[in-house]
A and B are shown apart, each in its own frame.
Chain A
Amino acid sequence: MSELIIANIIILASVAVIAAIILYFAAQKFKIQNNPLAEEIAQMLPQANCGACGRAGCQDFANACATADAEQFAHLYCPVGGSKTMNQIAKKLGYSSPEHEPTVAVLHCNGTCQNAPDKVEYIGLKSCRLAHRAFVGKTGCPNGCLRLGDCVRNCPFGAIEMDKETGLPKVNPDKCTSCGACVRICPRGLYEIRPRGKDGIMIYVACSNKQKGAIARKNCLAACIGCKKCAIICPEIKVEENLSRIPTTVDAKTYGEELAANCPTGAIIYTGKKGKKDEQN
C-alpha cells in the first residue's frame, strides 16, 4: 500500500517538475516586452479607460506617451487627469505639457418639465436612442432633450443625474471629467464639452432647436427663437438657422449678465452670481 502512495508522489512530483521547466522556457520565449516607462506612466493615469484621449484605453495612452517625442507629446492630453496628470507625465519624460483649459460637459437644452410640458406619453424602452427614432419626443421638440437618461446610464464617472424637478439630466461639474461619453451617446447631439471659464462662470445657449421661432416656442418656452438680440449686444455671437451659438471666446464675466437678462425666452444660461438661476452648474 505504502509503495503505491510513494509511487504516486514520485510520478506527480516529476510531472510537476517537467511542467514547471516547460512553463519557465515558454514564459521566457513568449515574454511580452513592456516598456517600463509606459508602465510607470500608466500608474499615473486615472485608469478609467474611457477613451476621452482618443486612444483605446489608459495603457494605450501610456504607450503613446512613452514613445512620443517632445512635439508629439504636446498633442497628447488626458482630459480626465487634466493638467495635473499631464504635468506629472511631462516631468517624468522631461518634456513640457502645454496648458489646457479645464472643460466640462454642458447640455444645450433647457426643455424642463415646466418649460416644455409633456404632450404625449411614452411607454417603450427607456432609451433616448430608441425614442429618438420612434417619435419626436414627449415635448414635441425635434431637437430637445428626450429626458430618458441615456447619458446618465452611460456616464463612466456618475457625473450626470436626472433632476426630478426639471426632468433634465444635470451635470455635476465636480465629477465631470469631460471624457465625452455623453457627447457620443446623445442621439440629438445636445452635449458639448466647453471650457469651464474663469471661476467656473460660463455663458451658453441652452437650446438646439433650429425651427423657426414661432414653431419652437409652441413646444418650449425656453427655446432660442433666433431674435438676434444677443448678437447686437455681443457681435461675436452668430445666429444661424434660427439658433444662436455663443462662442467660447465670449467673456462670460463681461457679457454674461447682460446677455442672460436680455434674452427674451431665457435660453441663454449664465452661471455667474446674478444671472438666471441655473441647475446645470
Chain B
Amino acid sequence: MNKTKTFHVGGIHPDKFKITTDMPICEAGIPETVCIPVKQHIGAPAKILVQKGDRVKVGTLIADADGIMSADVHSSVSGEVIKIEDTTDAIGYLEKMITIKVEGDEWEESIDRSPDIVKEISASSQEIIKIIREAGIVGMGGAGFPTPIKLDIPQGKKVDCIILNGIECEPYLTADDRLMTEKAEQIIIGAKILNKALGIQKAIIAIDENKPRAIEIMQKLTRSYVGVNVAICRTKYPQGSEKQLIAAVTGREVPPGCLPIDVNCVVQNVGTVYAVYEAVQKHKPLFERVVTVSGNDIRHPGNYMVRIGTPATYLIDKAEPIEPAGKVIFGGPMMGVAVTNLSAPITKTTSGVLLLKKESVFNPEQTACIRCGRCADICPQGLEPFAISGYVRRGEYQEAKKIHVLDCTECGSCSYICPARIPLTDFCKLAKYEIRKKK
C-alpha cells in the first residue's frame, strides 16, 4: 500500500556496509576524563560559566549560549573541572575545551532517570522552545544547527509539516536506525512535542527502505498517534540531505538559496527529536548521544550511548582494531571529517567513528577528465561538477558562481562516481570558500 518515495534529480548507490544494524545500543561507559568543547554547533562559542576546580554534576550547565546562533553546553559527567584551555580538536586546530576529571556518576536531581515513557505533554509551546534552548539541543545529523532557531518560525512564514529524518543514507552509520528501533515511542512523542511547539498536527517520519525493522516498529506505533505517519523512501544517497528529503517526501523543491521553511517544512533528525523528548519530558539536557563505531578492520563494531566529550581513543579501544587504522573518520565516509587527532572528543554532532583499513582508503591515481558527464548525471543539486572544476583550476570563481556552485551541498557523490578519480567535491568546496571570502 505504501509506495516508496525518492528524489528525482541525481543520486548514487554506494555500498552500505551497515554491519552494526543488529547491534543494540549499549552504554559506552564513562572515561577517566572528558574534554567538552564549548563550540559544538555553528555560530559563536558558548560562554564558559565554570572555573578550574569547580565541581560539576551530570547535566550541570557549564557554558552558556552566546548569541542567538549559539547553544548551551552541559557537563556529561560528574567530577572536577581540571582544565579550561585550548585543546586540539579532531582536525588538529586549537579550540576552547573544558576538561573534567570524572568522579562517580552523580546526576542533577532535576533529571528524571526512570525508564518510564512520559506520554502526556504538559509544557506549552513557548515553554517547549525554551526547554529545548536550555537543553542545548542542536541538529545531531552533522551540521550542528541550533534546534530552537528552526522552531522559531519567522513572521509571514507558515509550516504545515515536520519531517523526521531517519534516512541515514551514509554507509556504515546505524545510530539513527538503532535509535528508531529501540526508542520508537519516544521519538514519536518527540515529534508530537515539536508539533505542539509549532502549532501544527502533521509529522512524517521518513525512513529508508533498508531499515525494515525500524519501519515495522514505527508503522505499528504510529497507528495510535494521530497525525504521525511513516514515509518509506527508496534507498539512494544523499536522501538524508535536507533538500533531497523534502523533495522525496513532499515533492516540493527548495529553491536555491532558500531554507526548508520557504516550502513550509521543518526537518529534524530523529536523534535530535529523541533529544527533544528527553529534554522536555525527562528534563535531561543533551549530554550524550548514540555513536556508531564501525569500520572494515575491527573486532567489535557497535552502537554506543556515549557521553559528549569522551575521547575517540576510548571508543577505538573498545572496537579493538586488528591493525592501527589507516584512516579515522568522524561521521560517515561520504561527508565525515578525517580525524588527525585521535584523542579528540565526541561532540553533539559526531554520529559515528569509522576506522578504515589503510589499503581501503581511497588513494587513487588521478587521470584527466574524459567528459563522460557522470558527475552531472548524479549531482542531486543538478550542478555540473566537471565545469566547476575547470573554472576552479583557472581561478575563475565568479564564473563558477554563475553556474551555481553555492548550491553545492558537498555530498561527495561526484567524487564517488568520477571514473577519472578527480576530487570534484574538493573543487566545489574550494570555490565556495573563495566566493564567500570575497564577499
Do the two shown chains form a genuine complex with each other? yes
* B88 partner residues in chain A, CB cutoff 8 A: 136
* A142 partner residues in chain B, CB cutoff 8 A: 92-94
Interchain CA distance A134-B429 in the complex, whole Å: 10
Of A121, A125, A140, A142, the most chain B CB neighbours within 10 A belong to: A125
Interchain CA distance A119-B92 in the complex, whole Å: 11
The reply to whether A125 and B362 form a contact with Cβ atoms under 8 Å apart is no
B89 nearest in chain A by CB position: A136
* A124 partner residues in chain B, CB cutoff 8 A: 423, 426
* A127 partner residues in chain B, CB cutoff 8 A: 426, 430
* A129 partner residues in chain B, CB cutoff 8 A: 430, 433-434
Q: Tell me whether B50 is interfacial, beta carbon within 8 Å.
A: no
Question: What's the least CB distance linking B12 to chain A, in Å?
Answer: 19
Question: What's the least CB distance linking A141 to chain B, in Å?
Answer: 9
Q: Tell me whether B287 is interfacial, beta carbon within 8 Å.
A: no
**What 1/0 flags go to B326-342 for Cβ under 8 Å of A?**
00000000000010100
Q: Tell me whether B361 is interfacial, beta carbon within 8 Å.
A: yes
Could you say which of A125, A130, A133, A136 contacts B340, with CB atoms under 8 Å apart?
A136
* B91 partner residues in chain A, CB cutoff 8 A: 134-136
Could you say which of B93, B426, B434 contacts A136, with CB atoms under 8 Å apart?
B93
The reply to whether A125 and B423 form a contact with Cβ atoms under 8 Å apart is yes
Interchain CA distance A136-B363 in the complex, whole Å: 20
Q: Tell me whether A137 is interfacial, beta carbon within 8 Å.
A: yes
Interchain CA distance A140-B426 in the complex, whole Å: 21
Interchain CA distance A125-B93 in the complex, whole Å: 20
Question: What's the least CB distance linking B391 to chain A, in Å?
Answer: 14
| Interface residues in B415-438 (C-beta closer than 8 Å to A) | 423, 426-427, 429-430, 433-434
The reply to whether B362 and A123 form a contact with Cβ atoms under 8 Å apart is yes
Interchain CA distance A120-B434 in the complex, whole Å: 25
* A125 partner residues in chain B, CB cutoff 8 A: 423, 426-427, 430
Q: Tell me whether B395 is interfacial, beta carbon within 8 Å.
A: yes
The reply to whether A134 and B433 form a contact with Cβ atoms under 8 Å apart is no
Interchain CA distance A130-B415 in the complex, whole Å: 15
B92 nearest in chain A by CB position: A136
* A87 partner residues in chain B, CB cutoff 8 A: none
B364 nearest in chain A by CB position: A123
Q: Tell me whether A154 is interfacial, beta carbon within 8 Å.
A: yes
* A119 partner residues in chain B, CB cutoff 8 A: 340
Interchain CA distance A211-B91 in the complex, whole Å: 16
Question: What's the least CB distance linking B188 to chain A, in Å?
Answer: 38
Question: What's the least CB distance linking A202 to chain B, in Å?
Answer: 30
Interchain CA distance A206-B70 in the complex, whole Å: 38
* B423 partner residues in chain A, CB cutoff 8 A: 124-125
Question: What's the least CB distance linking A176 to chain B, in Å?
Answer: 20
Interchain CA distance A129-B93 in the complex, whole Å: 15
* A123 partner residues in chain B, CB cutoff 8 A: 361-363
* B430 partner residues in chain A, CB cutoff 8 A: 125, 127, 129-130
Question: What's the least CB distance linking A116 to chain B, in Å?
Answer: 13
The reply to whether B433 and A135 form a contact with Cβ atoms under 8 Å apart is no
Interchain CA distance A136-B339 in the complex, whole Å: 10
**What 1/0 flags go to A137-179 for Cβ under 8 Å of B?**
1001010000000000010000000000000000000000000
Given A123-B361, A123-B362, A123-B363, A137–B92 Cβ distance below 8 Å?
yes
Question: What's the least CB distance linking A143 to chain B, in Å?
Answer: 10
* B93 partner residues in chain A, CB cutoff 8 A: 136, 142
Interchain CA distance A142-B91 in the complex, whole Å: 10
Interchain CA distance A140-B362 in the complex, whole Å: 22
Question: What's the least CB distance linking B263 to chain A, in Å?
Answer: 30
The reply to whether B395 and A154 form a contact with Cβ atoms under 8 Å apart is yes
Interchain CA distance A121-B327 in the complex, whole Å: 9
Interchain CA distance A171-B92 in the complex, whole Å: 28
Interchain CA distance A123-B92 in the complex, whole Å: 16
The reply to whether A135 and B429 form a contact with Cβ atoms under 8 Å apart is no
| Interface residues in B89-120 (C-beta closer than 8 Å to A) | 91-94
The reply to whether B92 and A140 form a contact with Cβ atoms under 8 Å apart is yes
Question: What's the least CB distance linking A262 to chain B, in Å?
Answer: 29
Could you say which of A133, A136, A137 contacts B433, with CB atoms under 8 Å apart?
A133
Question: What's the least CB distance linking B199 to chain A, in Å?
Answer: 40
The reply to whether A135 and B426 form a contact with Cβ atoms under 8 Å apart is no
Interchain CA distance A133-B338 in the complex, whole Å: 12
Given A120-B340, A127-B430, A130-B429, A135–B92 Cβ distance below 8 Å?
yes
Question: What's the least CB distance linking B344 to chain A, in Å?
Answer: 11
Interchain CA distance A181-B362 in the complex, whole Å: 33
Interchain CA distance A154-B392 in the complex, whole Å: 12
* B429 partner residues in chain A, CB cutoff 8 A: 130, 133
* A133 partner residues in chain B, CB cutoff 8 A: 429, 433
Question: What's the least CB distance linking A119 to chain B, in Å?
Answer: 7
Interchain CA distance A135-B423 in the complex, whole Å: 17
The reply to whether A135 and B427 form a contact with Cβ atoms under 8 Å apart is no
Of B92, B361, B430, B433, the most chain A CB neighbours within 10 A belong to: B92
Interchain CA distance A135-B89 in the complex, whole Å: 10
Given A123-B363, A142-B93, A134–B427 Cβ distance below 8 Å?
no
**What 1/0 flags go to A178-195 for Cβ under 8 Å of B?**
000000000000000000
| Interface residues in A219-273 (C-beta closer than 8 Å to B) | none
**CB-defined A-B contacts under 8 Å, sample of 11:** A119-B340, A123-B361, A123-B362, A124-B426, A125-B426, A133-B433, A136-B91, A136-B92, A142-B93, A142-B94, A211-B94
| List of 8 A-B pairs having minimum Cβ-Cβ separation, nearest first | A136-B92, A125-B426, A135-B91, A125-B423, A130-B430, A120-B340, A123-B363, A124-B426
User: A124-B426, A125-B426, A130-B433 provided; 17 other pairs, C-beta below 8 A?
Assistant: A119-B340, A121-B363, A123-B361, A124-B423, A127-B426, A129-B434, A130-B426, A130-B429, A130-B430, A135-B91, A136-B88, A136-B92, A136-B93, A140-B92, A142-B92, A142-B93, A211-B94
Binding site for A on B (CB under 8 A): 88, 91-94, 338, 340, 361-363, 395, 423, 426-427, 429-430, 433-434
